[in-house]
Amino acid sequence: MKNLLLSALILFSISIQSQDFSEKLKGVWSSDATSYYVVILHDKKEFKFTNFSFADNNVIEEIVIEEGDDYVKTKIYNTENDWKVFLTYKYVDKNTLSVKFEGSTNSTSTYRRHWVMTN
């Protein structure tokens, strides 16, 4: 009985931690290094990453390929310029993400949260 209770407690703890991480990532983010914004959504099952640029008049979806306790890894392909990149998103604080790019470019960028006001 103790083992069952302990197992349930650990499973609940992992579930809460995962939920907290997804809540932290949700939002609109951007970097000074690009004209693109990324919108990160989570619907209790999976992440959705959508990139858009007003300057380039373009929308690109990222495909989630891996989720860890403290990161999400995606891949993106921009057909307009043949840009292929794997991205690793890590939460820094409530207003900051660290994003590592590997592929057509190799760098790490700081992304800042944008607050969207609704009526």
Residue 87 · residue 101 · CB < 8 Å: yes
Indicate whether 110 pLDDT > 50.
Answer: yes
The torsion defined by the Cα of 48, 96, 23 and 89, in degrees rounded to 10, comes to 40
Alpha helices (runs of H) in the chain, residue ranges in sequence order: 2-25
pLDDT at 9: 36
Closest CA to 25 of 76, 85, 97, 87: 97
* Average model confidence (pLDDT) across the chain: 85
Residues with Cβ within 8 Å of residue 20, at least 6 apart in sequence: none
Tell me the per-residue pLDDT of 39-90, one tens digit each, with 9 for 90 and over. Answer: 999 998 899 999 999 999 999 999 999 999 899 999 999 888 899 999 999 9
> Is 29 within a domain?
yes
pLDDT at 119: 67
Q: What is the CATH number of the domain that holds 102?
A: 2.40.128.210
> Is 104 within a domain?
yes
Going by pLDDT thresholds of 50, 70 and 90, the confidence category of residue 18 is: very low
Q: For the chain, what is the domain count?
A: 1
Give me the amino acid identity at 105: T
Tell me the per-residue pLDDT of 33-53, one tens digit each, with 9 for 90 and over. Answer: 999 999 999 998 899 999 999
Enclosing domain of residue 66 = 2-114
Provide mean pLDDT across the span 11-20: 45
> Is 119 within a domain?
no
> Is 75 within a domain?
yes
Residue 96 · residue 112 · CB < 8 Å: yes
